Amino acid sequence: MIDWLVLAIAVPLLGSVVAAALPGRASAIGLATAVLTTGSALAASLVVAEGGSLRSDLGGWGAPLGIALAADGLSAALLVMSNLVALGISVYALDYFSGGVRRHFWPLWLLLWTSLNGVFLAADLFNVYVTLELLGISAAALGALSGRPDAVAANLRYLLVGLLGSMTYLLGVALLYTELGTLDIGLAAEALVPGPLAHTAFALMLGGLLLKAALFPLHFWLPPAHSQAPAAVSAALSALVVKAAVYLVLRLWMDLFGPVAGPGAGAMLGVLGAAAVVWGSWRAFRAERLKLLAAYSTVAQVGYLFLFFPLLAIAPPPEREALLGALVLLALTHGFAKAGLFLAAGLLQKRVGHDRIDELGPAIQSLPVVGLTLGLAGVALIGLPPSGTFIAKWILLAESIGAGQWWWAPVVLIGTLLASAYVYRLLANAFGPAAQAEPAAEGALAPIGRLAQAPALLMTLVAVVVLGLGGEPLWGLLEGVGP
């Protein structure tokens, strides 16, 4: 039986090395690896869908000594999303990057992809640290690809903050190893007894991961880093890299720190999430540049994800399944929609050379497909009906009222209204007077190939239609997840 989990990591790693060695044919290799990796990831998820969970011990050694790769419903769902989005980004990057930059982009991009798959499949605490490091370094390097001073400065800060986060996480792992003597998540969960050490380790690891997931007070590094990076990279950063950190928080919350993570910690996360939603949406509303708007909306969406935690902490099993499903659905939809939004922003920037929102009118008109993509992404970000976000918000609201913690509802309401405000500002000029006035008067508008527009549109379509209406199998997949 071919071990798909290992392939999902080995193939992109191999691809990146070959792409590094042969810069000439970097994009060809890159695309081939992209297709193969997505194939193996999807195959792995299929096996998980049937079998409930998949585990492979690397090097044949048992759990305590060796490292294992494990994939259950939760990681399979995120794996599928991130691989599909990454495939879309790879196709987009084919003609987005010019010659010189291209040979730098592909190897680093495939390494980022490896680390993403690594995070979703990791079942060993130290292995998570190494994968997070690889993720942080490749993301920072990709972000600084454009070489502009402010991009380099933003990504340098991102790298440093990431390092600090990883070190704090590692100290938590050290403490856990001191008491439990094992690094494997499964064994640690069994051995863990809620005591002072468990709480401290939990606090440290959570702190480190929250820094990387850019939850509200620790989000300062995200907007500049994501808005300065090239479009394809910022799509990956916002949709995938941040998601990996949130996934880890969820994984630790449910598997390892089940007994330790009480309602108190949940409430704290909820409050931070609420602040993130309001602050992120407000700053997004005030942002002048499209990519800055998208970056702040990522901060808000991360806030939404963390709103689920206080409810998860106290929900009895039946509601817990629904809440978990809603959280994953929100993560998936945001992944697709945000990636689509950034790619579309990249196209617009390439078209008219800038991405100041108020002057994007003519650009959007001249590219109807991009306009549609922006519209769909907007629908998914606000959470209007056909999108998966709507259902996730519906369940969140229902559970928050059901569980008596009604105060999350106004937060979601404010977030939704602010989101519609900033999406409206974006789309208003699609119908604005500029439409009739001069279709494309100022300067030669760079031609945008059909191929470049396709991935963005496809991704937002998935976010709105597929996840909106076809969300049901997701709950089936998440059956066996978590205690």
Q: Residue 271 interacts with other proteins (CB under 8 A)?
A: no
Say how far apart CA 312 and CA 9 lie, in whole Å.
31
Q: Which of 23, 186, 258, 263 binds other proteins (CB under 8 A)?
A: 23
- Dist CA 18 CA 108 (whole Å): 12
User: Shortest approach of other proteins to residue 368 CB, angstroms?
Assistant: 8
Tell whether residue 468 is a contact of other proteins (CB under 8 A): yes
Contact 246, 331 (CB under 8 A): yes
Q: Does residue number 447 form part of the binding site for other proteins (CB under 8 A)?
A: no
**Site for other proteins contains 56 (CB under 8 A):** yes
Tokens of 415: 């977030």
233 part of the interface to other proteins, by CB under 8 A:
no
Residue 111 binding other proteins, by CB under 8 A:
yes
**How far apart are the C-alpha atoms of 197 and 62, rounded to whole Å?**
26
DSSP 262: -
* DSSP code of residue 55: E
Binding mask 325-354 for other proteins (x = CB under 8 A): xx--x-------------------------
Least separation in angstroms between residue 217's CB and other proteins is 13
For residue 4, give both structure tokens. 């798909």
CA 388 to chain centre: 15
Restricting to residues 167-186, name those near other proteins by CB under 8 A.
Answer: 167-168, 170-171, 174-175, 177-179, 181-183
Q: How far is the CB of 96 from other proteins (least distance, A)?
A: 16
Residue pointed to by tokens 């439990």 = 180
Part of the chain binding other proteins (CB under 8 A), chosen from 98-106, 229-237, 300-308, 309-317? 98-106
Residue 366 sits in the site that holds other proteins (CB under 8 A)? no
Amino acid occupying residue 280: G
| Shortest CB 198 distance to other proteins, Å | 9
- Does position 398 interact with other proteins (CB under 8 A)? The reply is yes
What six digits make up the tokens of 51?
A: 């079998």
DSSP secondary structure code for residue 124 in this structure: B
One residue of 34, 42, 78, 144 binding other proteins per CB under 8 A: 144
Q: Quick check: 359 binds other proteins (CB under 8 A)? A: no
| Rounded alpha-carbon distances, angstroms, from residue 213 to 246, 252, 345, 416 | 6, 14, 23, 21
Dihedral class, residue 194 (left if φ above 0, else alpha if ψ from -120 to 50, else beta): beta
Q: Determine if 281 is a binding residue for other proteins (CB under 8 A).
A: no
Among 29, 42, 322, 331, binds other proteins (CB under 8 A): 322
If one asks whether residue 275 binds other proteins (CB under 8 A), the answer comes out as no
